[in-house]
A and B are shown apart, each in its own frame.
Chain A
Amino acid sequence: MDMTLLVNEFLITGIIVLLLLLDFMIKDKKEIIGVVFSALMFGMMLFVMFFNRKGILLGGAFVADGIAWFSKIIILAAAFLTGLMSVNTIKVSKKYTAAYYILLACSTLGLMFLVSSKELITLYVGLELATISLYALSAIYKNDDLSLEAGIKYIILGAVSSGILLYGLSLIYGVTRTTYLDGIMNYASTGLINPVFIMALIMTLLGVGFKLSMVPMHVWTPDVYQGAPTPVTAFISVASKAAGFVFALRLFAYMFIRLDYVWVPILSIIAFLTMTIGNLMAIPQKNVKRLLAYSTISQAGYILVGFVGASVIGISSVMFYLLAYTITNIAAFAVVAAFAKSTGSEELDDYAGLAQKEPLLALIFMFALLSLAGIPPLAGFVGKFFLFYAAMQRGYVWLVVAGALNSTVSLYYYLLVLRQMYLTDRKKELPKVVMPLGIKLTLLITMIAIFVLGLMPGPVLDMTTEIAQKLFLK
């Protein structure tokens, strides 16, 4: 047993302990904990990037492979940027500041386990560790009704979805007598479709769908995204979603790959519904966080289009898009966090005339939104193009048509925001936006990444293609 494969997870556990100790040592300047957290997460990200060990552990339950490696980088990058934008931004009392970062670290740990496990129980434990920490994080603004409401809704609906997922997983176990993905794949490859097994497949899909905010499991998204502290929203919308997609990749692109004729049509319908409902519901929104929430739903729909490809191109573009989406979405939420911190508002109307007062902030928001809309040469364009290409390759022309139409519709509401910022005059006087250093850094890093990924997607695409090829070789 090569325990060094678990070194990343051990280190994160160490970081959690360290943060706990820091909480006792630091009495006043609790922001330091946030700085330490961000720095350590950044360090971890570099460590994972360069310490790229591959192997299998615990009889195949824990695996360090390309997908795990790539998604851990995404998760740690998200944790790092979330920490960075939280410093001096979140309005948590001193007593809970440390708890905030510790919970964030716990959730990160859970997500890292989730993406590395190839066994149902380990998967589930990782998932719950990640999600339970997020429940608490969403409700951490104790005096804010919306935040509490978000926490409660998240817990209840999360429990419902966990129930569905567990039911699906136990049915899988009941049919196959194994909890290891490899064993289940062997069963699924025999080609005998057992109706119970198909039902298990559907329930598992829906259970995972909760994390992806996939229709019909998307209902919690707007309320939780709106109520949770903005950096937490950013984290849920990217890290948790990315890990959820990796979970889905392991299930569908690996475990159920021989049953693709079953799940590809289902997913094509769900992908269509997810992007369409997300986009249509985003249009009438007046609250920026709610608008972005619906936009993330539609983004999940686009990513599912890549799943429909069920091919090397499909999976590699899913991974590429996850990275592009993570960076872009964090940038968008960081702008919202900065604006809300100074003005106390998340209403779209209050963004009027932002371009005159804060030209840079407005410009960054514009780039983030245009990248989400898939305008070249930004990161979102290349990703979306290949997602559609993959589905086209499989013959899902109607889905690609729907996807392209959807991205036209999405442009409408992204432009509504741009219009507020650039083309409308300020209606009421709002305080000047003062950005803490952390947010400035977050925006700087994400902006560079959006352009680099958009202009030079080659290296990353090579990497994701290689990873996807290995996945399919097995």
Chain B
Amino acid sequence: MDTISMLGLITAALPILAFIIIVAFTKKYRLTSALVSITAVAISFSLSCYMLYQQIIAPGLHSFNIPWMYIGSLELNMGVMINQLTTIMLFVVTLVSMLVQIYSMGYMHDDEGFSKFFSFLSLFTFSMLGIVISNNLMQIYIFWELVGVCSYLLIGFWYTKPEASDAAKKAFIVNRVGDFGFLLGILLLTFRAGTFDFIKVIAFVQSGAIEPGMMTIIALLLFCGAVGKSAQFPLHVWLPDAMEGPTPVSALIHAATMVAAGVFMVARLYAIFSMSQDAMHVIAYIGGFTSIFAATIALVQKDIKRILAFSTLSQLGYMILALGAGGYTAGMFHLTTHAFFKALLFLGAGSVIHAVHTNDIWQTGGLHKKMPITSITMLIATLAIAGIFPLAGFWSKDEILVTLHDSGNTLLYYTAIITAFMTAFYMFRLYIVTFLGEQGHHSEHAHESPLTMTIPLMILAVFSIFAGLVGIPGQEINISKFIFFSESAGSHAESMNMGIAVTSSIVALSGIALAFIVYFFKFIKAESLKKISGPIYTLLENKYYIDEIYMFFIKNVFFVITEALKWFDRNVVDGAVNLVAFLTRWGGNKLRRTTTGSVQTYALVIFSGMIIAIIAFAIYDPEALKLLGRP
């Protein structure tokens, strides 16, 4: 075990230590709990910085394994794997988590569950760091599930709100649907490779030992996990609802943890995904579809957090799209820059909500004068996400567009361009309506948030401006060289493609211009836009009715099956009981008063089952049985 991997272990272990300390000792002392949690993550952050620095001057792989259990010939380890990709993620996760925690001291100040909140945040950070440092499939799966559990706890934190408790349940279950595919993928892969270890599995896959069809299935099953965690269509439904949790949690989920886990996993196992071109295509199309699909919904929402939630969906789609199109560097780069400006946007939104006590952007307005720091930092983040030169978002978005352009898929390229236009438009719609324009009736008593809340905003604003500079093509220390996981893992533009840079800037600027025309100068009335688009507007406002479709399916198919079974239990079985009761009225039989099933019916079930089994065997065909599995 070398120093770097030891440090990696400590980085991940500190937050769980904080969790234990808070739960066991400091629960009653609010401030102490918060300080314990923040101190732990701050040390983790410093360690991450050190590891990042070490990786920059001397890139390399550091790892170690602790045997956990053996079963048959299968070896299961717990371990740490630190390379360039890991350190970038560690840096992002610990930084965002630290800032969110500092911010929470102000935001959650009056909440009863203050200590509990910090303990959950620590646990959440720990689970995410666990995913990041994992060196094998089993370990990543365990932490993957743990992240799901933590999100359940945090989204449902204000459990007295029914929306919050529903959203928490939804997040957990929808994620489990994705995890189910992920687990199958892991099982299939491990079964073939005979090991869980990333490096060995990747070596095995690259040796071409798995036939192409199987490879595609495995890659798509693994991708299911990312579809769940990174909220890609069709499992995106949990993310917009997840904003029912406290805003700092939304910031953490949307920026650096949870949703980032899916993208990170695809990047970590990129060598496996890139073995199947078909799977890569599916990934790219799902990403592309999610990005434009979510962007259209974001155009018409009026809840500030909901707009941001759909923009997260859209940006995640961007990253997945980039990864699927072969842009390993581009996807990870965008994940990094996005973490900063999305955290900033959510924390800024939290600051607004804290001041005006409403989520509806139409009830606010003119907040720029009242909350200058929030307003300016939000403006920086909005410009960054819109992809304006020279902010962070410009560089990473440009990288994605170049990748798409080079991949030669025009459809996906134009999807991304249109999405970029819509992003600029709806983000400025949010900004203009909230901060500029006339004062809304909730804005009167608004005032700037305390320093614990604004300082994290300012730090994130700095990152939102400069984080992109590491990715400028052609310089010596460059993100592309840095996070290359393996030689064949992807491409990176060697020099800037001026044409694309100009195109994307024009698209973004025209989106912003349109937003100003409609919402600031009001040359075109927003109302008339709404009227013209008519049913489309309603469709978008209702998020394409996807939730309703799912609920319809669950209610009409799933529950019908269970209700039918229940009906059988209650009616056929109980009907028989009532009949028996009627016939034995004089007997004073105990059975008459039974509330549940009758023995006769049960015996009937048993004997029918036996007869079916025997008949099945009488006509049994050994060949048919082989269809069920290898004999």
Residues of A that sit less than 8 Å from B by CB = 145-146, 148-149, 152-153, 156-157, 160-161, 164, 198-199, 202-203, 206, 215-217, 219-220, 222-223, 226, 260-261, 264-266, 268-269, 277, 280-281, 283-284, 308, 311-313, 316-317, 370, 375-377, 381-382, 385-386, 388-389, 392-401, 404-405, 407-408, 411-412, 415, 419, 422-423, 425, 457-458, 461-462, 465
Is B628 in contact with A152, judged by CB distance below 8 angstroms? no
Complex: A40 Cα to B517 Cα, angstroms? 84
- Given A157-B606, A261-B631, A395-B629, 17 more contacts at CB 8 Å? A145-B590, A145-B593, A198-B617, A202-B614, A313-B71, A376-B146, A377-B146, A404-B180, A411-B176, A415-B172, A422-B159, A423-B162, A457-B69, A461-B69, A461-B70, A462-B70, A465-B72
By beta carbon, the residue of chain A nearest B604 is A219
Within 8 A of A (CB), among B500-517: none
> Which residues of the other chain, B, contact A265 by a CB distance below 8 angstroms?
625-626, 628-629, 631
Is B176 in contact with A281, judged by CB distance below 8 angstroms? no
> Which residues of the other chain, A, contact B542 by a CB distance below 8 angstroms?
none
Contact of B173 with A by CB under 8 A: yes
* Min C-beta distance of B35 to chain A, whole Å: 24
By beta carbon, the residue of chain B nearest A454 is B142
Is B602 in contact with A219, judged by CB distance below 8 angstroms? yes
Contact of B188 with A by CB under 8 A: yes
**Neighbour of A219 across the interface among B597, B610, B625, CB < 8 A:** B597
Contact of B200 with A by CB under 8 A: no
Within 8 A of A (CB), among B351-372: none
Contacts A202-B614, A219-B597, A375-B149; is A317 near B603 (CB within 8 Å)?
no
Residues of B that sit less than 8 Å from A by CB = 67-72, 74, 138, 141-142, 145-146, 149, 156, 159-160, 162, 165, 168-169, 172-173, 176-177, 180, 183-184, 187-188, 190-191, 559, 561-563, 565-566, 569, 590-591, 593-597, 599, 601-603, 605-610, 612-614, 617, 622, 625-626, 628-631
**Neighbour of B609 across the interface among A216, A386, A399, CB < 8 A:** A216
Q: List 29 A-B contacts (CB under 8 A).
A: A146-B595, A149-B590, A149-B594, A153-B599, A156-B599, A157-B599, A157-B603, A199-B617, A203-B610, A206-B613, A219-B602, A223-B597, A264-B629, A265-B625, A265-B628, A265-B629, A268-B629, A283-B559, A284-B565, A377-B146, A381-B142, A388-B183, A389-B71, A400-B184, A401-B184, A415-B173, A457-B69, A462-B69, A462-B70
Is B599 in contact with A412, judged by CB distance below 8 angstroms? no
Complex: A425 Cα to B162 Cα, angstroms? 11
> Which residues of the other chain, B, contact A206 by a CB distance below 8 angstroms?
606, 609-610, 613
* Min C-beta distance of A254 to chain B, whole Å: 18
> Which residues of the other chain, B, contact A415 by a CB distance below 8 angstroms?
169, 172-173
Complex: A222 Cα to B622 Cα, angstroms? 35
Is A389 in contact with B613, judged by CB distance below 8 angstroms? no
Is A423 in contact with B599, judged by CB distance below 8 angstroms? no
Is A396 in contact with B628, judged by CB distance below 8 angstroms? yes
Is A419 in contact with B605, judged by CB distance below 8 angstroms? no
Is A280 in contact with B561, judged by CB distance below 8 angstroms? yes
> Which residues of the other chain, A, contact B69 by a CB distance below 8 angstroms?
382, 457-458, 461-462
> Which residues of the other chain, A, contact B608 by a CB distance below 8 angstroms?
216
Instruction: Give the secondary structure class of A's interface.
Output: helix
Is A394 in contact with B629, judged by CB distance below 8 angstroms? yes
* Min C-beta distance of A422 to chain B, whole Å: 6
Complex: A412 Cα to B562 Cα, angstroms? 13
Is B142 in contact with A281, judged by CB distance below 8 angstroms? no
Complex: A375 Cα to B566 Cα, angstroms? 28
| Closest 6 A/B residue pairs (Cβ) | A216-B609, A395-B630, A423-B165, A458-B69, A219-B602, A396-B629
Is B605 in contact with A423, judged by CB distance below 8 angstroms? no
> Which residues of the other chain, A, contact B74 by a CB distance below 8 angstroms?
313, 389
Complex: A425 Cα to B165 Cα, angstroms? 12
Complex: A392 Cα to B609 Cα, angstroms? 27
**Neighbour of B187 across the interface among A260, A392, A462, CB < 8 A:** A392
Is B605 in contact with A284, judged by CB distance below 8 angstroms? no
> Which residues of the other chain, A, contact B165 by a CB distance below 8 angstroms?
419, 422-423
Complex: A280 Cα to B569 Cα, angstroms? 12
> Which residues of the other chain, B, contact A284 by a CB distance below 8 angstroms?
562-563, 565-566
**Neighbour of B173 across the interface among A312, A408, A425, CB < 8 A:** A408
Best-buried of B141, B173, B562, B591 by chain A (most CB within 10 Å): B562
Is A419 in contact with B596, judged by CB distance below 8 angstroms? no
Is B628 in contact with A268, judged by CB distance below 8 angstroms? yes
Complex: A400 Cα to B187 Cα, angstroms? 9
Contacts A376-B146, A465-B70; is A156 near B628 (CB within 8 Å)?
no
Is A217 in contact with B606, judged by CB distance below 8 angstroms? yes
Is A222 in contact with B596, judged by CB distance below 8 angstroms? yes
Complex: A365 Cα to B353 Cα, angstroms? 36
